[in-house]
């Protein structure tokens, strides 16, 4: 019966075209991500294309390994000398043999020094050279300052302290350009997948009514029971297959060309004060997992509305409001904090990871992202019986 529902679903020409569109977008996004990376050679010529990501990685491999105080001192000294001699007039060839090689580490230093203020490269020039070896000490001092904000919330304070202790020092560096770039593209792609997969699921429970075959469906022996369950299973399988299949296509192409260097490096190299003890590869997986939960929640809601109203158009309105319009609404309303736990955050994990948001329920403390994944996974599962009830009880003769 599931096979029959799949055949019905993809016998629709529009649905087949949309699947093809998803594949094309995956390929296009892969090449956009590859071409977005630029490499400057020793002569100052800028290159992008299939070879640029790996050439950039090779240049940055000079600093691969533990980021010790000596490495920080060397980079800060170089930056100070360059700024003193050239100011902002650094040539491309000079950039190629300097900042291009250590730019990631420089950004980590600036991120550490710019605690509680906007990112500003000039802080390196203002730093006393004698403090150049104390980057980890400065980071620890700022972390302790952050923890003091939770003096009246001991459970949260202890939890945050444990999170920061999970990130081992000195940080182990490897160039992670591919993971950083793909974090942005996988976020955008998950939103596109959510809308299109929701469109597919919106027709599962309205098709019989559109074709006028509803009386036949409900009069069959297992139409109300087995038929309804089959439609629910079809929706879940369809969403899972399309989501992970599309993500796999994009990931294989992108990482196949750009490489997977930096997979085990901590994301604190990019954001020094992140409370998530993830590596770059783990962050990528969490972004995809969270997007998948968002898609499954959207599919469950869409199927429920479709089962209740038998309207494909109306059922599509709900995921669009919840996941697409909600972020814009949250920006103009005074109670903005509420929107940190709305469903749309499931497809905004790339940015959520930068926020030190934690929640306490009794004696349990949990970070924003794990809470969203657990909460909305439960909500999606809880919706399924209501879909069955709404559709199976309809047209009861």
**Rounded to whole angstroms, how far apart are CA atoms 201 and 232?**
9
280 Cβ contact partners less than 8 Å away, ≥ 6 residues apart: 176, 179, 180, 262, 263, 264, 265, 266, 267, 270
CA 18 from centroid of its chain's CA atoms: 23
Instruction: Name the residue with tokens 């399309």.
Output: 242
**Predicted local confidence at residue 144, as pLDDT:** 93
136 Cβ contact partners less than 8 Å away, ≥ 6 residues apart: 69, 169, 170
DSSP class of residue 176 equals -
**Predicted local confidence at residue 44, as pLDDT:** 86
**Predicted local confidence at residue 397, as pLDDT:** 45
What's the residue count for the chain? 397
**Which residues lie across from 359 on neighbouring strands?**
366
Q: Are 354 and 275 in contact (CB under 8 A)?
A: no
Secondary structure (H, E, C), 300-348? HHHHHHHHHHCCHHHHHHHHHHHHHHHHHHHHHCCCHHHHHHCHHHHHC
DSSP class of residue 152 equals T
**Which residues lie across from 296 on neighbouring strands?**
none
**Rounded to whole angstroms, how far apart are CA atoms 189 and 30?**
10
Q: Are 127 and 119 in contact (CB under 8 A)?
A: no
Exposure string of 312-351, with b = 16+ CB inside 10 Å and e = fewer, is: beebbebbeebbeebeeebeeeeeeeeeeebbbbbbbbbe
Of the candidates 234, 257, 397, the residue with the CA atom closest to the CA atom of residue 307: 234
- Distance set, CA 250 to CA 38, 185, 197, 243, 314 (Å): 20, 9, 17, 11, 31
Of the candidates 294, 25, 316, the residue with the CA atom closest to the CA atom of residue 199: 316
Of the candidates 74, 58, 112, the residue with the CA atom closest to the CA atom of residue 269: 112
**Predicted local confidence at residue 121, as pLDDT:** 84
**Rounded to whole angstroms, how far apart are CA atoms 38 and 4?**
48
**Rounded to whole angstroms, how far apart are CA atoms 286 and 209?**
39
Query: pLDDT means per 10 residues in the chain (397 residues)?
Result: 72 89 96 94 88 92 94 92 82 86 93 87 86 92 91 89 93 95 95 94 71 51 65 91 97 96 95 95 97 96 87 84 77 70 92 91 92 96 89 58
Q: Are 156 and 367 in contact (CB under 8 A)?
A: no
């Amino acid at each position: 019966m599931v096979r029959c529902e799949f055949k019905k679903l993809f016998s629709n020409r529009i649905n087949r075209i949309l699947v093809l569109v998803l594949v094309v977008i995956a390929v296009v996004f892969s090449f956009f991500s590859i071409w977005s990376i630029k490499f400057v050679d020793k002569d100052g010529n800028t290159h992008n294309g299939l070879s640029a990501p790996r050439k950039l990685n090779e240049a940055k491999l000079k600093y691969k390994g533990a980021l010790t105080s000596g490495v920080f001192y060397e980079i800060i000294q170089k930056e100070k000398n360059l700024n003193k001699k050239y100011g902002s007039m650094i040539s491309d060839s000079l950039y190629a043999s300097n900042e291009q090689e250590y730019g990631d580490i420089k950004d980590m230093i600036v991120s550490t020094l710019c605690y509680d203020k906007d990112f500003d490269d000039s802080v390196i020039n203002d730093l006393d050279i004698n403090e150049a070896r104390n980057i980890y000490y400065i980071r620890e001092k700022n972390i302790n300052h952050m923890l003091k904000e939770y003096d009246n919330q001991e459970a949260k304070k202890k939890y945050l302290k444990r999170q920061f202790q999970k990130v081992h020092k000195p940080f182990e560096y490897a160039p992670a350009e591919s993971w950083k770039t793909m974090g942005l593209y996988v976020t955008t792609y998950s939103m596109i997948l959510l809308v299109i997969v929701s469109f597919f699921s919106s027709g599962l429970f309205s098709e019989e009514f559109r074709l006028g075959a509803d009386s036949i469906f409900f009069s069959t022996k297992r139409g109300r029971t087995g038929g309804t369950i089959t439609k629910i299973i079809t929706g879940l399988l369809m969403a899972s297959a399309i989501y992970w299949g599309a993500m796999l296509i994009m990931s294989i192409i992108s990482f196949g060309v750009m490489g997977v260097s930096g997979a085990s490096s901590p994301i604190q190299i990019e954001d020094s004060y992140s409370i998530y003890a993830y590596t770059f590869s783990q962050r990528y997986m969490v972004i995809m997992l969270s997007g998948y939960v968002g898609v499954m929640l959207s599919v469950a809601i869409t199927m429920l509305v479709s089962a209740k109203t038998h309207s494909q158009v109306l059922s599509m309105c709900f995921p669009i409001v919840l996941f697409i319009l909600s972020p814009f609404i949250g920006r103009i309303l005074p109670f903005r904090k509420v929107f940190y736990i709305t469903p749309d955050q499931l497809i905004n994990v790339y940015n959520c990871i930068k926020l030190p948001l934690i929640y306490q329920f009794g004696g349990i403390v949990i970070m924003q992202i794990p809470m969203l994944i657990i909460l909305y996974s439960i909500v999606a599962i809880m919706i399924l019986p209501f879909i069955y009830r709404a559709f199976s009880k309809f047209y009861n003769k």
